[in-house]
């Protein structure tokens, strides 16, 4: 199965390469991911609602122009820009999936109460809006703001250093799992108050499992 991932913001080539390497490392057997930069029409970072809405528009346009050769597409972003809130009609182009939609609905299906950590207030507000649109407000224990600069996304040590206190707050609110609210951050193993979920890693495993299930039902094999 071949998937297209589209960045939510316009990134320099070295950051696109870093994120592509992360997909290469995380993708289960049978799933390959090609990451494309969304283009210069998108904002360089998500800092306010205006940039979130501009990202959504740019991602939708990039996915619409994906071309042939992909089994599915998804935004390289935990905010799921351009991902339908509910069941979508049969698409004219490539089916669109969401990292947040897949990971949060999986946790909810397992009756796991979860929280999330995000970099800033604007991202937190949009993530809350998306989860409510997915009908998952009752499963959400809360969202903690890490108050980190954009550069922390590529700084694994800085991001992970900020997790401890935020995860503890969410655990006290009832979360047994915490979604790491950035699709491009590696989460280090640590003894925290709740399990930290990498939404990208989880979503990729779920997509690969879906391909295997589809193949089993059709009598073929996933590829």
Instruction: Quick: pLDDT tens for 161-210.
Output: 999 999 999 999 999 999 999 989 988 888 899 999 999 999 999 999 97
- Rounded distance between C-alpha atoms, residue 222 and residue 65, angstroms: 25
pLDDT value of position 10? 98
pLDDT, mean of residues 91-111:
91
C-alpha triplet 11, 16, 17: angle, nearest 5°: 150
139-172: pLDDT as tens digits: 999 999 999 999 999 999 999 999 999 999 999 9
35-60: pLDDT as tens digits: 999 999 999 999 999 999 999 999 99
Q: In 3-state terms, what secondary structure has residue 2?
A: strand
Contact present, 163 and 193 (Cβ < 8 Å): no
- Rounded distance between C-alpha atoms, residue 4 and residue 8, angstroms: 13
108-124: pLDDT as tens digits: 999 999 999 999 999 99
Report whether pLDDT(72) > 70: yes
Phi and psi torsions of 2, nearest 5°: -115, 125
pLDDT band at 213 (very low <50, low <70, confident <90, very high): low
Q: Torsion angle, CA of 24/29/31/37, rounded to 10 degrees?
A: 0
pLDDT value of position 86? 78
Report whether pLDDT(223) > 60: no
Q: How many CB atoms lie within 10 A of CB 107?
A: 21
- Rounded distance between C-alpha atoms, residue 69 and residue 106, angstroms: 27
pTM of the predicted protein model: 0.92
- Please classify residue 12 by burial: count the beta carbons closer than 10 Å to its beta carbon, then call 0-12 exposed, 13-18 middle and 19+ buried: exposed
- Torsional sign, CA 83, 86, 92, 96: positive
pLDDT value of position 112? 98
Higher-pLDDT residue of 222 and 42 is: 42
């Amino acid at each position: 199965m071949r998937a297209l991932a589209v960045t939510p913001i316009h990134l320099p080539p070295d950051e696109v390469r870093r994120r592509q390497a992360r997909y290469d490392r995380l993708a289960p057997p049978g799933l390959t991911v090609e990451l494309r930069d969304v283009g210069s029409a998108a904002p360089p970072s998500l800092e306010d609602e205006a940039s979130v809405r501009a990202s959504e528009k740019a991602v939708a346009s990039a996915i619409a122009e994906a071309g042939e050769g992909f089994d599915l597409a998804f935004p390289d972003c935990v905010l799921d820009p351009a991902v339908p809130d509910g069941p979508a009609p049969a698409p004219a182009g490539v089916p669109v999936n969401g990292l947040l939609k897949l990971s949060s609905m999986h946790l909810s299906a397992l009756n796991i109460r979860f929280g999330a950590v995000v970099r800033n207030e604007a991202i937190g507000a949009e993530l809350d809006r998306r989860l409510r649109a997915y009908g998952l407000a009752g499963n959400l224990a809360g969202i903690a703001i890490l108050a980190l600069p954009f550069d922390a996304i590529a700084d694994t040590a800085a991001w992970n250093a900020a997790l401890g206190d935020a995860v503890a707050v969410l655990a006290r609110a009832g979360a047994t799992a915490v979604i790491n609210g950035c699709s491009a951050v590696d989460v280090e193993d640590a003894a925290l108050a709740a399990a930290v979920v990498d939404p990208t890693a989880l979503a990729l495993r779920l997509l690969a499992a879906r391909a295997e299930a589809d193949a089993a039902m059709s009598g073929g094999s996933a590829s």
